[in-house]
């Protein structure tokens, strides 16, 4: 226990130092200084850690909350920068591998597809992604690699982000025809949520735990019985980068929690897969009272993934850091 406490203390001190350095930056637009500090931040958070962010004191808790906000801001600026650069190509989707974190998104998309196919919906026809942003990598990965027949509706609060995203699919007759981008607050959506077989909730939609819980409860009131919800979360030290979602909050929102997966590789986000509970069940707790953690990594759908049509996004298997 003493060794764990010391490890947590070192991590908290590291986070405080990085927070101070990032806060002093004149801008969070992509630059060598910004990239270096956020690379250092991610590297510090990726290794397994005994930290429980729910038990942090007031000072470290504020540092964590502010780091998440800074990460959200920087991530949005990075995506907007690359969305604009990619839009200059005749077919932007041929060049997605130029994004520095391309490989991470490919891995996350494969993971989420495998979990959904195994636990919830093998062949969804209509999919919504809430919080898609200016560079909707997750939807593009899922649509091109794993769900070649599905229609994707992408929701974001920012009209400018949606305008950037539309330009990326303009030249692809297949993916472009199956993608829409809608400017809306999910809290304002009602009956239309009942049309989706799967809804993905981005990690940075509802940064505060209470806000995230309200969004999940809203989805639970309007999604169709049996529809799947995929919620991105975080675990351990990765909770300094992204909000941590309590599976119990998902269950209280009207869902049966089917699986929880915590990656231990370059994929940062944890994944919670749930199913909208039948109206008659009224379930308010995680089934059986136990956390259904999936381990080791799910690879049950590798064969299904390999036989799906290969599309443009299969050009490069890993991220390449290329300049424009």
Determine the Cα angle at 126 with ends 122 and 130, to 5°. 105
Statement: residue 296 has pLDDT above 80: no
How far apart CA 49 and CA 144 sit, in angstroms, is 35
Indicate the pLDDT class of residue 299, thresholds 50, 70 and 90.
very low
The answer to whether the CB of 116 falls within 8 A of the CB of 198 is: yes
- Annotated domain spans of the chain: 2-86, 96-310
Averaged pLDDT, 173-192: 95
How far apart CA 270 and CA 250 sit, in angstroms, is 14
Whole-number pLDDT of residue 292: 62
Phi and psi at 113, nearest 5°, equal -60, -45
Q: Which residue in 259, 12, 305, 32 sits closest to 145, CA to CA?
A: 305
Topology (CATH level 3) of domain 96-310:
Rossmann fold (3.40.50)
Above pLDDT 70, what percent of the chain?
86
* Terminal-to-terminal C-alpha distance of the chain: 49
Question: How much of the chain is helix, strand and coil, in % rounded to 5?
Answer: 50, 15, 35
Number of Cβ atoms within 10 Å of the Cβ of 36: 11
Distances (CA, A) of 4 to 12, 51, 235, 241: 12, 8, 16, 21
Averaged pLDDT, 26-35: 97
Q: Which residue in 56, 218, 203 sits closest to 131, CA to CA?
A: 203
Whole-number pLDDT of residue 280: 43
Which strands, in side-by-side order, build the sheet including 151-156? 179-183, 151-156, 126-130, 198-201, 228-233, 270-276, 255-261
Averaged pLDDT, 225-232: 96
Q: What integer best gives the mean pLDDT of the chain?
A: 88
Between strands 198-201 and 228-233, the pairing is: parallel
Indicate the pLDDT class of residue 295, thresholds 50, 70 and 90.
low
Indicate the pLDDT class of residue 286, thresholds 50, 70 and 90.
low
How far apart CA 64 and CA 240 sit, in angstroms, is 5
Q: Which residue in 173, 134, 171 sits closest to 156, CA to CA?
A: 134
Averaged pLDDT, 198-207: 94
Per the structure block, which two tokens stand in for 19?
């927070």
How far apart CA 7 and CA 30 sit, in angstroms, is 31
Determine the Cα angle at 107 with ends 105 and 109, to 5°. 65
How far apart CA 120 and CA 111 sit, in angstroms, is 13
Between strands 270-276 and 151-156, the pairing is: unpaired
Q: Is 166 exposed, middle or buried (0-12, 13-18, 19+ CB in 10 A)?
A: middle
Averaged pLDDT, 7-31: 98
Residue bearing tokens 């919906």: 121
């Amino acid at each position: 226990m003493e060794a764990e406490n010391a490890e947590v203390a070192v991590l908290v001190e590291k986070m405080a130092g990085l927070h101070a350095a990032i806060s002093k930056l004149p801008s969070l637009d992509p630059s060598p200084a910004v990239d270096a500090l956020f690379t250092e931040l991610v590297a510090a958070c990726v290794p397994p850690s005994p930290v429980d962010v729910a038990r942090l004191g007031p000072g470290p808790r504020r540092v964590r909350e502010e780091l998440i906000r800074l990460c959200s801001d920087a991530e949005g600026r990075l995506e907007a920068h690359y969305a604009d650069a990619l839009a200059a190509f005749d077919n932007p989707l041929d060049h997605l591998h130029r994004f520095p974190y391309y490989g991470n998104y490919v891995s996350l998309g494969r993971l989420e597809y495998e979990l959904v196919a195994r636990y919830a919906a093998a062949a969804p026809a209509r999919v919504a992604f809430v919080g898609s942003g200016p560079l909707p990598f997750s939807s593009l990965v899922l649509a091109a690699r794993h769900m070649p027949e599905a229609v994707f509706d992408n929701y974001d609060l920012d009209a400018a982000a949606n305008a950037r995203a539309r330009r990326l699919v303009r030249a692809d007759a297949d993916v472009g025809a199956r993608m829409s981008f809608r400017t809306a607050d999910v809290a304002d959506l009602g009956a239309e949520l009942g049309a989706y077989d799967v809804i993905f909730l981005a990690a940075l939609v509802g940064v505060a735990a209470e806000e995230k819980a309200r969004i999940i409860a809203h989805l639970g009131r309007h999604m169709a019985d049996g529809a799947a919800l995929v919620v991105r979360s975080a675990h351990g030290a990765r909770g300094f980068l992204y909000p941590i979602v309590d599976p119990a909050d998902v269950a209280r929102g009207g869902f049966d929690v089917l699986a929880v997966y915590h990656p231990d590789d370059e994929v940062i986000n944890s994944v919670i897969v749930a199913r909208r509970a039948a109206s008659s069940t009224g379930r308010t707790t995680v089934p059986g009272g136990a956390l259904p953690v999936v381990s080791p990594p799910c690879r049950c759908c590798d064969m299904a993934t390999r036989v799906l049509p290969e599309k443009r996004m299969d050009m490069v298997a890993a991220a390449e850091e290329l300049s424009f």
